[in-house]
């Protein structure tokens, strides 16, 4: 695929965004089965008509995405939801009331008419209502549900700016709506409500602790880190979010011990002639010397700041051309579960 990718810069606070000329033009492309990248509150998505198999196939092709990896349908209102799902359990009603619009994707039993390619042939469909004015305006203007994985080449770090999208997909898609940097920085949480107990298939912007407050219980799918079963959600299978350099996650009994271990590993790799990158925090960034590429990824005391910067930091290591990356690790509670899930995928589950 080799085409000119249009670029529109849109102020997300403009009133009547769906009537804004740039949004209207992008929506027309979506209705005509083209592909448009757009911002959400999590990451930039690569959107197309979620009701047409041929359009969904274009998304897989543009990303180089495996065909058994399902997509999320993005909607702007409950009318669209009712057209897509076979039933809405009370549990789903409670979750939507609490978290929609927002970074929560819910897996429902689907109605006929949803593109088989969007659900990877499953009898379920993953749906969310994004909490971003430009995303909602595009969906409303297009007047159809938009299938949208992250707008990056498959396996690469997800995009949190329009420039990240163009780095990967310029010439491969029809256009990109630039609404500025995204806010949360990691993808939505995906929860399956088709069983008796809600099950998290991918940790993300809504934490397990928040879901338990609504549902009383929640399970974590063991397939989050496995590769055996057909995935019911994006992010469950395959290496994702990966920088080009070899990446290792470094554990420690406490931050000080972890920092010392990272220093030792970095020194040994540098002695072997490798260009070393270190994913650090604001608290530890000044602990590393020796000519390494050290990039702070937010504050350990504020994991939301780490989530927001994570993918941009991974791309900075690519720009620096490092050979190996040693990454500090984080507690796996709250948003830390999503951070560590993405780091583990990026590193191919390599720990030290």
Prediction pTM value = 0.91
Q: What is the pLDDT of residue 67?
A: 67
Binding residues for L-threonine: 42, 74, 128, 148, 188
Neighbours of 291 (CB within 10 A): 10
Contact 263, 284 (CB under 8 A): no
Q: Report the alpha-carbon distance of residue 121 to residue 49 in Å, rounded.
A: 17
> Which residue, among 47, 27, 35, 43, has the nearest Cα to 175 in the 3D structure?
35
pLDDT in tens, 152-192: 998 899 999 999 999 999 999 999 999 999 989 999 999 99
Binding residues: 42, 65, 69, 74, 124, 128, 148, 150, 158, 188, 202, 241
In DSSP notation, 41-110 reads: SSSEEEEEETT-HHHHHHHHHHHT--TTS--EEE-SSHHHHHHHBS---HHHHHHHHHHSSSSEEEEEEB
Orientation angle between helical segments 162-169 and 303-320, nearest 10 degrees: 40
Residue with tokens 């509670």: 333
pLDDT in tens, 315-346: 999 999 999 999 999 999 999 999 999 999 99
Query: Which domains does the chain show, CATH number per domain?
Result: 6-224 (3.90.870.10), 246-346 (3.40.50.11030)
Contact 28, 89 (CB under 8 A): no
**Taking residues 225-253, what's their average pLDDT?**
69
pLDDT in tens, 34-85: 999 999 999 999 999 999 999 999 999 999 877 667 899 999 999 999 999 9
- Of residues 237 and 256, more confidently modeled: 256
> Which residue, among 253, 250, 245, 305, has the nearest Cα to 281 in the 3D structure?
305
Cα 261 vs. chain centroid, distance in angstroms? 30
Q: What is the pLDDT of residue 265?
A: 97
Backbone Cα Rg of the chain: 20
Residue with tokens 């897989």: 60
CA angle 198/210/109 to nearest 5° reads 30
């Amino acid at each position: 695929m080799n085409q000119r990718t249009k670029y529109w810069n849109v102020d997300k606070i403009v009133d009547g965004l769906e009537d804004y000329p740039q949004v209207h033009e992008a929506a027309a492309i979506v209705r005509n089965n083209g592909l448009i990248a757009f911002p959400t509150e999590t990451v930039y998505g690569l959107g197309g008509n979620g009701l047409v198999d041929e359009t969904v196939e274009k998304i897989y092709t543009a990303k180089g995405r495996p065909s058994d990896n399902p997509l999320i349908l993005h909607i702007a209102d409950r009318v669209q939801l009712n057209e897509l799902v076979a039933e809405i359990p009370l549990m789903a009603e409670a979750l939507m009331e609490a978290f929609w619009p927002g970074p929560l994707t819910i897996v429902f039993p689907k109605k006929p008419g949803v593109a088989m390619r969007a659900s990877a042939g499953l009898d379920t469909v993953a749906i969310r209502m994004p909490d971003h004015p430009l995303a909602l305006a595009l969906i409303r203007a297009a007047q159809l549900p938009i299938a949208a994985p992250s707008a990056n080449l498959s396996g690469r770090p997800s995009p949190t700016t329009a420039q990240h999208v163009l780095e990967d997909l310029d010439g491969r898609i029809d256009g990109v709506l630039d609404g500025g940097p995204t806010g949360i920085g990691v993808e939505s949480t995906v929860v399956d409500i088709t069983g008796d107990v809600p099950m998290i298939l991918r940790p993300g912007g809504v934490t397990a602790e928040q879901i338990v407050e609504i549902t009383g219980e929640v399970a974590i799918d063991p397939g989050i880190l496995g590769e055996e079963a057909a995935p019911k959600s994006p992010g469950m299978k395959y290496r994702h979010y990966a920088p080009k350099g070899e990446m290792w996650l470094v554990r420690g009994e406490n931050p000080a011990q972890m920092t010392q271990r990272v220093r030792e590993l970095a020194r040994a790799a540098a002695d072997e002639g490798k260009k070393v990158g270190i994913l650090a925090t604001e608290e530890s960034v000044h602990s590393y010397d020796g000519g390494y590429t050290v990039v702070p990824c937010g504050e350990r005391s504020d994991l939301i700041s780490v989530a927001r910067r994570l993918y941009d930091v991974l791309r900075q290591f690519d720009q620096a051309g490092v050979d190996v990356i040693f990454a500090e690790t984080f507690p796996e509670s709250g948003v830390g579960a999503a951070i560590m899930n993405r780091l583990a995928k990026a590193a191919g589950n390599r720990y030290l």
